Chains A and B, each alone.
Chain A
């Protein structure tokens, strides 16, 4: 048995009061007097009609009967129907990504959207419920209020969460919240194209408030660092969205201490990409940051972070692979182990191999190039890449692929040639290139060594660190127990929900995750999409008939009856006290 309204236990006050009343009631001492003639109050009412006399005589019975009837009445749950005018709900979808921090006009897009929202709310009628939804990995209801003024009062609590916005998901959330109701939805973002907008607009008015001012933006689109032979090699890739040249300086810093290790100027020519390499930087820092010092409208993407493994891992290369691969690997690391099956390969070495068995052997991810367990088929079509960090330094523009091997089922596909997968990633993290290097012209292209560098780096990073996260990203990690997250100043931030998952903090930076036994670093980087500040068109879709409607609500009426019941009980008590009291 359970109780649905346990909070109503407070009504025990009433019986308690009655009990107290009983305990402290008046006790009349009996005293015999010659006559009560002068004591008795007017008893005129006794000489009334038989009906009333009957009522008086059986008053206790009638009162109890009435109380019980009232009780039954209450159990029926009486209610009144009330027509209440209620406003059409007001929804605000706020892009909370880092790009909203850009301030092309002095104030950031986020702040100006907030101002616009406040203005909208204060102009609205009071009876409209307000819901604010923030975007992110998972869009969330940030605020629910009964009236616009109530919502406006707490609007300042909204914060940017840096996460990659998913407008479609946010709109789905709005849809889920709405059901069949009419609503007015305002979307505040930098760009949300009409072409992407596929919503049904019947009964719902959608107003997209987009950013109209282009922002002069320079950003670090890619920053990577590799330790080899005691020195660190770092590559910073810069892009420029501005219309004029914006010269600046790129600083290479120790992420933990903030000491500048190296710096290089950058010209910042409009619409041009620049790659700046730092070589032979002597440091034993575990994480580096690259900072672009320039004057632009968007500061959040001017900093990037990279993690450095403590010890460079040995690389074991299958000798049957293309000679140029070996050359490319040698450019990254000097000591290469030839993995010809005869020599023993260290357990923690990074294997580059043709043998598909390597996917199941060992506990470290490998780079698999081609397959020996399957036949290749002719490939045709264009090359297409996903938005993976692996290709962010240098993506091959055009590549001739003669034939590809069949893909592994269930593995993530990073690149395709035509319809056939070309590059895959296993759940463990193995990278698989589904073609023989001889069958492509990629090794001849300048992007090839950079790809190998990226691949080696990402594969080796996985082991020594927790890798790179996008803000608020939830990823599986290998930790012994639920990890505690600290920032580089050592301040505690949060604790993971489980041992094998970790949700990254919102703010880009380097963080420390500590389980009971080990401490691993993780970097939080802005998603690639957050490196640009978009401009878009503001528009309205759909129409709303009116901003008010009526809803019929059922208002339960319990209290008046409970009060009557109480009065009845009191009357009963009084009758009992006067008449039926056993002296």
Chain B
């Protein structure tokens, strides 16, 4: 699957690391400083000795000055638990959205794996499917091939129904979707996501035609997921109405997201995976 995720891209991504905004970390040792005290080299605080504390951590210099036992505390380094929800509903199978989403998922996973974090991915297509979990840089290839082997999107389950697939203890949640759901549904979804995870990042993949419809004539548009239809005569006013509605939708989506602390990134297959990681995500301070 080199075609889907060329090594050059992997090399560029390898240098990146997630910027973390709060939230829990995993229980396992990792490369990310935790707020908890632990065994890292990073000093955190002093604390009076109580029986049971590790005497190795008593700061004897402080004892000399104060005649009281103080214990040095260090910050702990823990792993980041990254989970990716990949929208695999049929609406993703348009104009290169699906491979692009796969590329993003692979890239995100590789960033996590390179930093020694655990990463898992779940798809909306199958609720019963167990999330794919990987940890450690060595798993990078397996991760890539596993995601590349995902089936073409076929289901019509909305991404908003995918809460069950998110593992407990997820510290960083990425959702790759086209977010073509009504605003109120999205609003509710954001609320439940925020309850599930402190750090939710939504990557909205929209194709060029979705951003600016390029068809003409009298069309009976059929929804790919359900059988809803819309008869449209493509005129400039119809297009304007479309753009207006899309703009409204985006505005409301951002409002809801801001309310529940969900970060949103709009991208499109035309941007290319390199740009998404090295430019868009960097600009959004998602990675560094």
Residues of A at under 8 Å CB distance from B?
Answer: 26-41, 578, 583
A28 to B246, CA, bound (A): 23
- Pair B91/A35 contact, Cβ less than 8 Å: yes
* Stretch in B18-26, B100-108, B217-225 with 4+ CB within 8 Å of A: B217-225
Minimum CB–CB distance from B154 to chain A (whole Å) comes to: 14
Query: Would you give 21 A-B contacts (Cβ < 8 Å), ordered by A?
Result: A26-B233, A27-B218, A28-B220, A28-B231, A30-B222, A32-B221, A32-B222, A34-B90, A34-B94, A34-B178, A34-B180, A35-B91, A36-B222, A36-B223, A36-B230, A38-B245, A38-B249, A39-B230, A39-B232, A41-B230, A578-B231
Give the contacts of B214-260 with A (CB-CB under 8 A): 215, 217-225, 228-233, 242, 245-246, 249
- Pair B178/A36 contact, Cβ less than 8 Å: no
A35 to B207, CA, bound (A): 12
- Interface check B181, CB cutoff 8 A: yes
Residue of B nearest to A30 (CB): B220
From known contacts A28-B231, A31-B215, infer whether A37 and B222 are also in contact, taking CB-CB under 8 Å. no
- Pair B225/A35 contact, Cβ less than 8 Å: yes
Interface size class of B (residues with CB under 8 A): 20 to 34
Q: Which residues in B have their C-beta under 8 angstroms from that of A39?
A: 221, 230, 232, 242
- Pair B249/A37 contact, Cβ less than 8 Å: yes
- Pair A40/B230 contact, Cβ less than 8 Å: yes
From known contacts A26-B233, A31-B215, infer whether A37 and B181 are also in contact, taking CB-CB under 8 Å. yes
Residues of B at under 8 Å CB distance from A?
Answer: 90-92, 94, 97, 178, 180-182, 207, 209-210, 215, 217-225, 228-233, 242, 245-246, 249
From known contacts A39-B230, A39-B242, infer whether A33 and B249 are also in contact, taking CB-CB under 8 Å. no
Q: Which residues in B have their C-beta under 8 angstroms from that of A36?
A: 221-223, 228-230
Minimum CB–CB distance from A45 to chain B (whole Å) comes to: 15
Residue of A nearest to B242 (CB): A38
Q: Which residues in B have their C-beta under 8 angstroms from that of A34?
A: 90-92, 94, 97, 178, 180, 207, 210, 224
A26 to B228, CA, bound (A): 19
Q: Which residues in B have their C-beta under 8 angstroms from that of A578?
A: 231
Q: Which residues in A have their C-beta under 8 angstroms from that of B223?
A: 32-33, 35-36
Residue of B nearest to A39 (CB): B230
From known contacts A33-B94, A34-B210, infer whether A40 and B220 are also in contact, taking CB-CB under 8 Å. no
Q: Which residues in A have their C-beta under 8 angstroms from that of B225?
A: 35
Minimum CB–CB distance from A583 to chain B (whole Å) comes to: 7
Given contacts A26-B218, A32-B224, 15 further A-B contacts (CB under 8 A): A29-B218, A30-B219, A31-B220, A32-B221, A32-B222, A32-B223, A33-B209, A33-B224, A34-B91, A34-B92, A34-B97, A34-B180, A34-B207, A35-B91, A40-B230
Residue of A nearest to B217 (CB): A29
Q: Which residues in B have their C-beta under 8 angstroms from that of A28?
A: 218-220, 231-232
Residue of A nearest to B97 (CB): A34
Minimum CB–CB distance from A171 to chain B (whole Å) comes to: 75
- Pair A29/B219 contact, Cβ less than 8 Å: yes
Residue of B nearest to A29 (CB): B219
Q: Which residues in B have their C-beta under 8 angstroms from that of A33?
A: 94, 209, 221-224
Residue of A nearest to B238 (CB): A39
Q: Which residues in A have their C-beta under 8 angstroms from that of B233?
A: 26
Q: Which residues in A have their C-beta under 8 angstroms from that of B231?
A: 26, 28, 578
- Residue from A31, A35, A36, A578 whose CB has the most chain B CB atoms within 10 Å: A35
Q: Which residues in A have their C-beta under 8 angstroms from that of B229?
A: 36
Q: Which residues in B have their C-beta under 8 angstroms from that of A583?
A: 220
Q: Which residues in B have their C-beta under 8 angstroms from that of A32?
A: 221-224
A41 to B242, CA, bound (A): 9
Q: Which residues in A have their C-beta under 8 angstroms from that of B178?
A: 34-35
Q: Which residues in A have their C-beta under 8 angstroms from that of B242?
A: 38-39
Q: Which residues in A have their C-beta under 8 angstroms from that of B249?
A: 37-38
